[in-house]
Amino acid sequence: MTRSGTREPATTLALAVLSASTAVAFDRVFRDGSYLLPSVGAAVIPHAIGWLGRRRRWRALTPIVVSLLALALYATWTAAVSTTFFGVPGPDTPRAIAAAFTDGWAVLATGVAPVGATTGAVLLTVVALWLMATSADALAFGGEAPLGAIVPSLLVFVVASSLGRQELGRWTTALYLAAAFGFLAVCHRDLLVQRRSWFTGRTAAGHGQATLRVGAALAAVAILAGVFIAPALPGADSDAWLHYKHPAAGPGQYENSDNPLVDLASRLGAPSTEPRFTVESPQRLYWRQVALDRFDGTQWTLESSSRAAPRVLDGIDVAGRESASVLQRFHLGAMTQRWLPAAYEPIGISLPDARILPESRTLFNADNAVVGRRYDVVSRVPPEKLTAAQIEATAGPLPAALEQYLELPNRFPTTVRRTARAVTATAPTPYDRAVALRNFFTGGSFAYDLAVPPGTSNRAMEEFLTVKRGFCQQFAGTFAAMARSVGLPSRVVVGFNPGTYDTAARLFRVTDANSHAWAEVWLAGVGWTLFEPTPAGVQPGATDPGIGLPAQANPNAPPTTPTTIGSGATTATTAVSAVGGNGGQVSVGGKGSDPSEAPSRARWIALGVVAIALGMVAIRSGRIWIRRARRRAARRAGTPRAAVVGAWAEALDRLDENGVRISRSDTPREVVEETASRPHRAPDAEIALRRLADATALAMWSPADPPPGDAARAWTDLATLERALRDETPRSTRIRRSLARVL
């Protein structure tokens, strides 16, 4: 593309529209439109910087540096404006940006579109779009590659399409294609105005057209092979070699990449009124889906070996137990995951192909066919309150097998640990410590607020304890982490609260608004016990105010009657046959990292940036070397026309290295006129340049080939011009300008 052509603003505008249409494609990824303004800004501003640089005739490296500095400021204003001083980054800004990147990567690795427009997710989008626009601008105007300028936006568009919803694909694709064709049309008209062929550079068409034909043929073959041949190859439908969501995935393992704790925010933010399932049960209970027992500082995850559920649950003797067993009859509707809801603790299930994670009694189906399934579950329900003797017995020793439920990341926030210890300082037993933590959250100082950005990372916990506002995701995640910090084995559970009871149908109807997260704490003599840290309310995801929670009541309070629907609790009698099957590995959630480990990640990012920069330098240097080699070869073995044009191209490069700015759309005679006012120490340099320009004009536009003597004289004139320019410009200046051309 031209640096100063009359249509450059139109070309820049067309490229900016293409980048903006790529930003709009992320509407398929985010649940609301709050991402749009910062994303479109990130897609357009780099083009404005590039246009300003060309207008001001900046060196090639200057727009890149300015763009990177502008990106740093823009990212700060997008994700960490509270850490700035009147817009200027402060000492806390790098940490805030690193934490936002970590949270954004967690959403990318575990979220299911549409996701909330969290700060981290929007920041990742902004950075990707900014780098895309900067690369496209450099390719379009620095590399003179109109088709190449589309590649960065195409890559980002494909990523957005692969992550996003399908229902918006048609119009976003149409918008992107229209913008791409519009950009190419403007480029074509611009290049025709400059009297140049679309794909040519300074050199004559010759071998360039042949290369173009070969490249086009190879591209066509590659496209046909990818569309028709690749899908038919053996193994085309196999698992991916690289699992970017769960790198540890291997053969024979079942990976559920949708972390239900992360997905909770999207379900509660725009809850569907369509029932996820219905359940007949004599009691109002929590319908448990999955227990997450690993916390890495970024998110709660799960990794465990599964077994056939009937084989584990069949034959469990419930006779003589103090707790009642309750029969539930489930009918699944529009379930988005294969987890099977059930009241805790399941002791029998009627599905022969169900599987279970024995440690947490988490049930899931062996395949994805869960919609429409009907099954019965028998669960052992603990008493609503513990006796004084049971509470005292919770101070018993912790089995070694349960020590894993005390693990916390090495850089667990000191403020969170200190708060947990202060809250439980006067609690004599583990049960009392758990109750003290629960009362800390439900005592009135914390407010339930769905507008708080989702997140369970170290930094999210610190912010939650500061602002004291959040929804069940923050309450459950923070409670469980604080419980571990004071010696209480704990885990986070995701499922549903009881739902709405239909008196006529005598069943509970459960929708997205009933999605919920809570915690379980292991107590000696009692086992895993539900603790509800989320305040009661009527908002989606809040604690059901009408439910009697096990082990939560004060043992000295008057006895209460458990909430029952219809007849009393039903004793488990469901017979289940064992089925065969190999154990599989179940993994939920990606491998996150503690935001405090950001310096290490920053080093890798810095190394990546350096590697990319070196690669760009190598490519650019290679292009210059190849172009110069072709010109020298044309002088020795090419036609007289190619030799003359090659000498002229070398002359333009020498002028550029010596600070003479030449527009590539200028004719040879226009170049001579633009340089006429520049004095040269050697008087014959101007004569040599004029003679070389006249020979080049004849070689480029005359139908007849120039005589061989013109070719030899052209390179002699080039040598004369080079000597004059060397005398005029110091060596250090020429080296610096040569490096600028490469960069």
Residue 593 belongs to some domain of the structure: no
pLDDT at 104: 76
- Verify that 22 and 100 share a domain, yes or no: yes
Task: Indicate which CATH number applies to the domain containing 295.
Answer: 3.10.620.30
Q: What is the mean pLDDT of residues 403-420?
A: 91
Q: Has residue 537 got a pLDDT over 90?
A: no
- Statement to judge: residues 510 and 630 lie in one domain: no
pLDDT of residue 613: 62
Q: ∠ CA(587), CA(588), CA(591), 5° rounding?
A: 90
Mean pLDDT across 416-423: 94
Measured between its terminal Cα atoms, the distance across the chain in Å is 17
Which residue in the block uniquely carries the two structure tokens 């013109």? 710
3-class SS shares of the chain: helix, strand, coil, % to 5? 50, 15, 35
Q: Does a structural domain hold residue 349? A: yes
Residue 243's φ and ψ, nearest 5 degrees, are -100, 100
**Whose CA is closest to 337, among 269, 388, 263?**
263
How far apart (Å, rounded) are the C-alpha atoms in residues 119 and 104?
Answer: 7
The pLDDT, as a whole number, for residue 114 is: 67
* Amino acid occupying residue 349: I
Strand partners, 507: 502
Among candidate residues 43, 50, 51, the one with its CA nearest the CA of residue 17? 43
6-20, 256-270, 695-709: which has the minimum mean pLDDT? 256-270
Query: What are 275-312's pLDDT values in tens digits?
Result: 889 999 998 899 998 999 889 888 888 877 788 888 78
Query: What secondary structure letter does DSSP report for 536?
Result: B
**430 shares a domain with 369:** yes
pLDDT at position 332 over 80: yes
Tell me what the mean pLDDT of segment 228-253 comes to: 42
In 3D space, the residue among 341, 357, 326 whose CA is nearest the CA of residue 574 turns out to be 326
In total, how many domains does the chain have? Answer: 3
Q: Given a cut of 70, is residue 394 above it in pLDDT?
A: yes
How far is Cα 397 from Cα 491, in angstroms, rounded to an integer? 19
Q: Kindly report the average pLDDT of the chain as a whole number.
A: 74
Residue 186 falls inside a structural domain = yes
Q: Would you say residue 737 has pLDDT above 70?
A: no
Question: What is the pLDDT, as a whole number, of residue 341?
Answer: 92
Instruction: Select the highest-mean-pLDDT range: 267-271, 356-360, 721-725.
Output: 356-360
pLDDT of residue 609: 61
Give residues with Cβ within 8 angstroms of 642, minimum separation 6.
Answer: 203, 204, 206, 634
Least confident of 126-130, 334-338, 429-433, 595-599: 595-599
User: What's the rounded Cα separation, in Å, for the pair 537 and 88?
Assistant: 41
The whole-number pLDDT of residue 580 equals 33
Distance CA(493)–CA(36), nearest Å, equals 33
Of 528, 559, 575, at which residue does a domain stop? 575
Residue 484: its pLDDT value, please? 95
What percent of the chain is predicted at pLDDT more than 70?
A: 67
Is 196 a domain residue? yes
Determine how many CB atoms are found less than 10 A away from the CB of residue 221: 11
Q: Give the integer Cα–Cα distance in Å for 142 and 742.
A: 10
| DSSP SS3 for 490 | strand
Look at residue 209 and tell me whether its pLDDT is greater than 50. no
Question: 582 in a domain, yes or no?
Answer: no
Are the CB atoms for 535 and 446 separated by under 8 Å? yes
Q: Is 182 helix (H, G, I), strand (E, B) or coil?
A: helix
Least confident of 49-58, 191-200, 489-498, 660-669: 191-200
Q: Which amino acid is at 133?
A: A
Residue ranges in 273-344 assigned as alpha helix (H): 309-313
Mean pLDDT of 80-97: 80
Look at residue 141 and tell me if it is in a domain.
Answer: yes
If asked whether residues 385 and 506 sit together in one domain, one would say yes
Domain assignment present for 594: no
Do both 416 and 508 map to the same domain?
yes
- List Cα–Cα distances, 437 to 20, 206, 294, 421, 425, in angstroms: 48, 79, 20, 10, 11
In angstroms, the CA 309 to CA 530 distance is 22
Same domain for 62 and 168, yes or no, is: yes
Domain co-membership, 508 together with 623: no
Tell me if 218 is assigned to some domain: no
Residue type, 498: P
Mean pLDDT lowest among 137-146, 198-207, 523-532, 664-673: 198-207
User: Alpha-carbon distance 455 to 256, whole Å?
Assistant: 19
| Domain span holding position 431 | 256-575
What pLDDT does residue 731 have? 65
Does 313 score more than 70 pLDDT? Answer: yes
Instruction: Give yes or no for residue 636 having a pLDDT over 50.
Output: yes
Lowest mean pLDDT among 230-244, 260-274, 620-634: 230-244
Examine the fold and report which residue of 202, 220, 237 is the final residue of a domain before the chain moves on.
202
Pick from 349, 402, 361: which is nearest to 572 by CA?
349
Whether residue 524 contacts residue 394, with contact meaning beta carbons closer than 8 Å, is answered with yes
pLDDT for the residue 422:
94
Model pLDDT, residue 1? 43
Q: Residue 323: pLDDT above 90?
A: no
pLDDT range class, residue 734, cuts 50, 70, 90: low
CA atoms within 13 A on the CB side of 704: 4
Amino acid 509: pLDDT? 92
The answer on 497 and 359 residing in a single domain is: yes
pLDDT band, very low/low/confident/very high, at 692 (cuts 50, 70, 90): confident
At 448 the three-state DSSP class reads: strand
Contact 727, 665 (CB under 8 A): no
Q: Is the peptide bond before 345 cis (omega within 30 degrees of 0)?
A: yes
Instruction: Tally Cβ neighbours within 10 Å of residue 390.
Output: 18
Same domain, yes or no: 457 and 546: yes
| Position 191 confidence tier, pLDDT thresholds 50, 70, 90 | low
Picking from 169-178, 182-191, 500-509, 533-542, which range would have the lowest pLDDT averaged per residue?
A: 182-191
* pLDDT number for residue 368: 65
Residues recorded for the chain: 743
Supply the pLDDT for residue 315.
46
Tokens standing for residue 731: 């060596």
Task: Assess whether 540 and 649 both reside in one domain.
Answer: no
Higher pLDDT, 531 or 230: 531
Lowest-pLDDT range of 91-105, 390-404, 652-666: 652-666
> Does one domain contain both 493 and 611?
no
User: What DSSP line would sit under 253-321, residue for residue?
Assistant: EEEE---HHHHHHHHHHS---S-SEEEE-SB---EEEEEE-EE-SS-EEEEEEEEEHHHHHTT---TT-
Instruction: Tell me: do 274 and 417 sit in the same domain.
Output: yes
Among 399, 391, 331, which residue's Cα sits nearest to residue 359? 399
8 A C-beta contact, residue 392 and residue 465 = no
Last residue of a domain, one of 138, 168, 202: 202
Q: With CA atoms as reference, report the closest residue to 472 among 488, 452, 457, 443.
A: 452
Q: Which of 3-17, 448-462, 514-528 has the lowest mean pLDDT?
A: 3-17
- Amino acid letter for position 108: L
